[in-house]
Every structure is written in structure tokens, then in C-alpha cells.
């Protein structure tokens, strides 16, 4: 079983360098959406530094600025002293920077050279710094959004601070006749947290109302993507409960960590998932009795995040009425929305197919085929005969063929017979290995009990509210 590659499911995606990848993802997230505190802090402290490739001099003194809006101390701490200083102490009592500070944010196509010149920083210093053995490798793999915080004396670089990943930072200081570089560790701490969402209009809105990050809700959706079609199944009144980890650094919240356990109550159906790491280090989500939550097919082969913002579960989806009439499911979605392979398989058709327009048909195991119609375009590597993994993008939503508006028409056939893709029983992925079963039950029981306790605690206020209303 392969894992989907959509960001929706990135939690599952194995990565050669998870720390770096996660952190850069976080940074994109922070910069793109300004959501986590980190992102916010960049905006607050260095208002113009978060754009693409913009440079902003933050003129001294920081202290005076801090006194006006003390929140800056909390979230944009002392670029060159990434040590923890209690907020109350830091406020107004922090060290006075001797030099002017500049934050360089790498934008698309930027070079350090250009950024230095634009900001009247010594390019000679840059050349020296970039040659340092501890610095050189990092200079070769800069990505947009990377920042360099530089303290300078009329362009002469005195100190440079650069976050390598969540737990490592690079500090370069001007020594006598040379620059010195050191990599420092920034340990993280994990705290457990809980969240409860109740859907009124959309999954995202319910998450925002409950104070959850988009990241957390996307991870949740990723966990239940095999059981719940987050485009068409969501109903007002659905509830979900999440037990998850938050990552802190120096006492400050950084981002959400893993979801430990979750429950999704969808339209009368209840789904639970518990994270388990086996002795081989493989982490995955299972039901309470050890079945994998993953299945050979995902319910909705479109990136739901592109759709759900417009989706109102109170309104009956006009297309639902026609499911049986035309033996497929239609997902109205903006043109260009990625379409994913519902399961592992082989491309047995790729091209125009009458009223279906641009169509891909996949052959899967168990004599199952899936069909994706009305595409605007095929994915580049979706060639006839090509093997695809579940979650691979095979094309993009469009309205080719007999379609009046952009949508994905999706069909599922078993032994040549159409089955409703939304209700057909799907084969499970492998359950927990027998040799891990007892350990699994022992370890997950308390986690599940905790989730149940939390769920019970959340039920009370609603009952009270209901009593009041009646
Ligand atoms: Zn259709």
C-alpha cells in the first residue's frame, strides 16, 4: 500500500529528511498564511520582511519598540540570542543591540549576493562567510522563505543568524581577522493537547472556530480520507475529537505535532483512529481493534481542500441526486484542481473518450477499474501503461467532453459492473501485524480512554445548552 502524496496526507509521507522538510513546510505555511505564531511574529517585528525577497531594515533600538508593543518580545525574540529569556524580563530589560539589524528573506530567484548589495551589506564579508565549512553547504540549498538576520556596522557584517531547521540554527560572528560559525541546537518540547470541532458549515470553518490550525485539520482529514469523503459526506452536526501533540521551543508554541488519536462522527457513523509506532519504527493509524484505517481506495479522488471552502453541507449537493442515474460521482471543483489516483494501479486509458472528454482509466487489483472524466489536462507523467500509486496526481479537473461546468466525473467498476464509489465496501490495508497486536492493544487502550474522557467532557456543555433551549 502506498501513501498518497497530497499535502492533505503529508503526515503519512515518508521523507528522507523529515526535519528539514517539515520545517520548510512550516515556513511556507507561516509565510503564506501568517497562521502560526512564528509567522505572525515575523510580520510584527519585521513588517516588510515577509514578502517575496523584500528586505527590511529594522532600525534600532528594539527596546523602545518593545515597550510600545511588548508582544514583540514574546514572538520575535532577539534574533541573535536564541536563548530563553522570560518574557517579563525580556520586556524592556533585554540587551541593547549595538548594531543595526537587517532581515533578508530569500525570494524566488534571489541570490545572497543581490540581497547583500541591495541592502548595502559588504559582499566581501558574504564571500568570506559563504566559504566557511560550516556555512557553505547551507548556502547551496537556500529556498524561498529562508531568512538571514544580520547585525551590521555600516554594512560590515558583525553577526548572522540563520535557522537551519526546527532544532538547529547557524550563527556566524565576526572574530579577529575572520568569521566564526557555529551550529546551535534548539531543543523542542512536546505537550499533549485536545480539540473538538462541530461542523456547522464546513470542516475548515469548524476548525477555525475551535481555534485549530489548518495543518491540524488537514492531518485529521488525511487520517480519515479512506472512510470519509470530505467533499460530499460532511454534514452539519458532525463532530470530531482530536488528541494531539503540540511542539514548543523555549516555552513558545511552534506548531502542531502528530495526532495521537481522533474520532470523527459523520452523519451517524463513527470512525476512530489511533496512532501506533511498531517496534520497527513504522507509524500508522489503526482502529481500536487494530485494523488499518487505510484502504486500497480513497473515497474522494480530488483534493478536497480546493473544494470544501465553497461547500455548504446544509445545502443538498445538486449532483448527489444524479449519482445512480449516471453511475458515477461528480465533484464540482475549480478547473485545474488535481485529481488523484484512488488506488494503486495501471493506466489502461489516457485520452479522449466521447462525452467523457479527456479521461483516464486505471486498472487495479481485484478486477476493479476506476475512471476519471472531463479532465482539462493529464498529469505529465500519466502515460498509457504507467503504474500509479494511490494519491498520485493523474490529471486536472476541467470540463472537456459533455460537461457544462468544471467537475470530476468518477466511476468505480467491479468485474465490469458500476458500483457507487461512495458506498462500495473497500478492501482494507493490512491490519496491525500479529506480533505487535498485544503491544498495540496495551499501548492504545489508555490513549483511547483519554479520547473518550475528553469526548465525554465536551458533550456536557451541549446538553446544558440544549436543556436551556428547550
Ligand atoms: Zn458525472
User: What is the CA(28)–ligand 1 centre distance, in A?
Assistant: 36
CA–CA separation, 9 and 222 (whole Å) = 5
**Which one has a higher pLDDT value, 468 or 169?**
169
pLDDT of 109: 87
pLDDT value at 308 more than 50: no
Of 447, 370, 11, nearest to 221 by C-alpha is: 11
User: What is the CA(401)–ligand 1 centre distance, in A?
Assistant: 11
Give me Rg for the CA atoms of the chain: 26
Note the pLDDT tens digit of each residue in 228-264: 988 888 899 999 999 999 999 989 999 999 999 999 9
User: What is the CA(390)–ligand 1 centre distance, in A?
Assistant: 22
Note the pLDDT tens digit of each residue in 89-113: 434 444 555 799 999 999 988 889 9
Contacting residues for 278 by C-beta, under 8 A, at least 6 apart: 432, 433, 436, 439, 440
pLDDT value at 47 more than 80: no
Residues with CB under 5 A from ligand 1 (ion): 328, 330, 409
Note the pLDDT tens digit of each residue in 434-448: 999 999 999 999 999
pLDDT of 62: 34
Q: Which of 73-87, 190-204, 367-381 has the lowest mean pLDDT?
A: 73-87
Read out DSSP for 18-62?
Answer: HHHHHHHHHHHHHHHH--SHHHHHHHHHSTTTTSSS-EEEEPSPH
The answer to whether the beta carbons of residues 61 and 97 sit under 8 Å apart is yes
Confidence band for 370, pLDDT divided at 50, 70 and 90: very high
**Which one has a higher pLDDT value, 11 or 157?**
157
pLDDT of 305: 67
Within a 13 Å sphere around the CA of 354, how many CA atoms are in the beta-carbon half? Answer: 1
User: What is the CA(409)–ligand 1 centre distance, in A?
Assistant: 4
Q: Where are the beta strands (DSSP E) in 319-460?
A: 329-332, 338-340, 345-352, 358-364, 368-375, 377-378, 387-388, 393-396, 407-414, 417-419
Distances 403 to 324, 330, 398, 406 between C-alpha atoms, Å? 18, 11, 9, 7
Average pLDDT over residues 155-173: 93
Query: Which residue ranges does the chain devote to CATH 3.10.450.350?
Result: 7-186, 187-295+432-470
**Which one has a higher pLDDT value, 326 or 371?**
371
Q: What percent of the chain has pLDDT over 90?
A: 51
**Which one has a higher pLDDT value, 60 or 276?**
276
User: What is the CA(328)–ligand 1 centre distance, in A?
Assistant: 6
The CATH class that applies to domain 187-295+432-470 reads alpha beta
User: What is the CA(293)–ligand 1 centre distance, in A?
Assistant: 28
Confidence band for 360, pLDDT divided at 50, 70 and 90: very high
pLDDT of 392: 95
Note the pLDDT tens digit of each residue in 15-41: 333 333 333 333 333 333 333 333 333
* β-pair partners for 370: 362, 412
Query: Which residue ranges does the chain devote to CATH 2.70.70.10?
Result: 301-427
Please give the CATH number for the structural domain made up of 301-427: 2.70.70.10
pLDDT value at 423 more than 80: yes
User: What is the CA(410)–ligand 1 centre distance, in A?
Assistant: 7
Q: Which of 95-99, 181-185, 395-399 has the lowest mean pLDDT?
A: 95-99
Average pLDDT over residues 363-385: 94
User: What is the CA(418)–ligand 1 centre distance, in A?
Assistant: 13
Mean model confidence pLDDT for the chain: 77
Confidence band for 55, pLDDT divided at 50, 70 and 90: very low
pLDDT of 161: 96
Read out DSSP for 101-148?
Answer: EEEEE--TT--HHHHHHHTT--HHHHHHHHHSTTTHHHHTT--TT-EE
User: What is the CA(387)–ligand 1 centre distance, in A?
Assistant: 25
Please give the CATH number for the structural domain made up of 7-186: 3.10.450.350
User: What is the CA(48)–ligand 1 centre distance, in A?
Assistant: 47
Amino acid at each position: 500500500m502506498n501513501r498518497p502524496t497530497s499535502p492533505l496526507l503529508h503526515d503519512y509521507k515518508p521523507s528522507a529528511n523529515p526535519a528539514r522538510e517539515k520545517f520548510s513546510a512550516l515556513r511556507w505555511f507561516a509565510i503564506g498564511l501568517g497562521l502560526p505564531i512564528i509567522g505572525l511574529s515575523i510580520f510584527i517585528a519585521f513588517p516588510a520582511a515577509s514578502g517575496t525577497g523584500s528586505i527590511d531594515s529594522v532600525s534600532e533600538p528594539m527596546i523602545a519598540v518593545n515597550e510600545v508593543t511588548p508582544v514583540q518580545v514574546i514572538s520575535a525574540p532577539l534574533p541573535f540570542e536564541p536563548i530563553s529569556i522570560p518574557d517579563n524580563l525580556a520586556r524592556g530589560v533585554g540587551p541593547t543591540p549595538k548594531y543595526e539589524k537587517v532581515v533578508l528573506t530569500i525570494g524566488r530567484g534571489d541570490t545572497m549576493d543581490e540581497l547583500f548589495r541591495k541592502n548595502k551589506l559588504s559582499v566581501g564579508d558574504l564571500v568570506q562567510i559563504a566559504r566557511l565549512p560550516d556555512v557553505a553547504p547551507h548556502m547551496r540549498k537556500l529556498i524561498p522563505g529562508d531568512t538571514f538576520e544580520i547585525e551590521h556596522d555600516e554594512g560590515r557584517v558583525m553577526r548572522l543568524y540563520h535557522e537551519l531547521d526546527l532544532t538547529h540554527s547557524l550563527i556566524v560572528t565576526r572574530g579577529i581577522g575572520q568569521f566564526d560559525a557555529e551550529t546551535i541546537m534548539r531543543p523542542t518540547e512536546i505537550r499533549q493537547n485536545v480539540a473538538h470541532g462541530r461542523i456547522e458549515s464546513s470542516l475548515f470553518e469548524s476548525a477555525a472556530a475551535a481555534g485549530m490550525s489548518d495543518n491540524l485539520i488537514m492531518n485529521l482529514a488525511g487520517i480519515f480520507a479512506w472512510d470519509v469523503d470530505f467533499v460530499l459526506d460532511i454534514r452539519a452536526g458532525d463532530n470530531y475529537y482530536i488528541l494531539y501533540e503540540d511542539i514548543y521551543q523555549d516555552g513558545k508554541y511552534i506548531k502542531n505535532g502528530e495526532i495521537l488519536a481522533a474520532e470523527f462522527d459523520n452523519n451517524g457513523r463513527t470512525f476512530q483512529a489511533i496512532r501506533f509506532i511498531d517496534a520497527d519504527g513504522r507509524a500508522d493509524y489503526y482502529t481500536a481493534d487494530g485494523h488499518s484505517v487505510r484502504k486500497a481506495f480513497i473515497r474522494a479522488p480530488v483534493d478536497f481542500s480546493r473544494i470544501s471552502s465553497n461547500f455548504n453541507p446544509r445545502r443538498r449537493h445538486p449532483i448527489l441526486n444524479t449519482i445512480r442515474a449516471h453511475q458515477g460521482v461528480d465533484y464540482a471543483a475549480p478547473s485545474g484542481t488535481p485529481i488523484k489516483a484512488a488506488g494503486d494501479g495501471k493506466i489502461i486509458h489516457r485520452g479522449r473518450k466521447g462525452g467523457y472528454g479527456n479521461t483516464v482509466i486505471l486498472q487495479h487489483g481485484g478486477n476493479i477499474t476506476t475512471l476519471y472524466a472531463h479532465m482539462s489536462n493529464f498529469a505529465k507523467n500519466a502515460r498509457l501503461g504507467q503504474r500509479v500509486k494511490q494519491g498520485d496526481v493523474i490529471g486536472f479537473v476541467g470540463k472537456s467532453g459533455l460537461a457544462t461546468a468544471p467537475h470530476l466525473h468518477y466511476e468505480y467498476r467491479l468485474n465490469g459492473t458500476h458500483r457507487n464509489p461512495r458506498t462500495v465496501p473497500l478492501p482494507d490495508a493490512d491490519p496491525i501485524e500479529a506480533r505487535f497486536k498485544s503491544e498495540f492493544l496495551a499501548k492504545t487502550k489508555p490513549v483511547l480512554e483519554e479520547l473518550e474522557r475528553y469526548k465525554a467532557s465536551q458533550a456536557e456543555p451541549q446538553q446544558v445548552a440544549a436543556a436551556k433551549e428547550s
